[in-house]
Amino acid sequence: MTAQVQYMESQGAKIDAAVASLVPDLKLVVHNIEHEKIRTTQNNYGDYMQVIMKLGKDDRNMRRLIGLALIEAGANIRGVDGAIRALGDA
């Protein structure tokens, strides 16, 4: 295995660990968005965009990481994708 492959695998493992660490905290947020709030945007992308912007601040990579964690926590995939695209991070 080359050093580049090892590096890429280690980065992937770090991303997976970061996403997994966020999921428990985001489950309640996702539940509230999906089940407790009145939908105001298609697939709740507006609510997911607010969460992503608040937690991800001005860091594009962090916003993508938050998006992955939201999906892992049960968020509507299309809603998260819409939020990421609206932010220009797709």
> Model's pTM, two decimal places?
0.84
User: Which residues contact residue 10 at a Cβ distance below 8 angstroms, ignoring those fewer than 6 apart?
Assistant: none
72 and 28 Cβ atoms separated by less than 8 Å = no
Taking the mean position of all CA atoms in its chain, how far away is CA 79? 10
65 and 15 Cβ atoms separated by less than 8 Å = yes
What is the radius of gyration, based on Cα positions, of the chain? Answer: 14
33 and 42 Cβ atoms separated by less than 8 Å = no
Domain spans of the chain, in order of start: 3-86
Mind listing the pLDDT tens digit of every residue in the chain (90 residues)?
A: 677 667 667 777 888 888 988 999 999 999 999 998 788 889 999 999 999 999 998 899 999 999 999 999 999 999 999 999 999 876
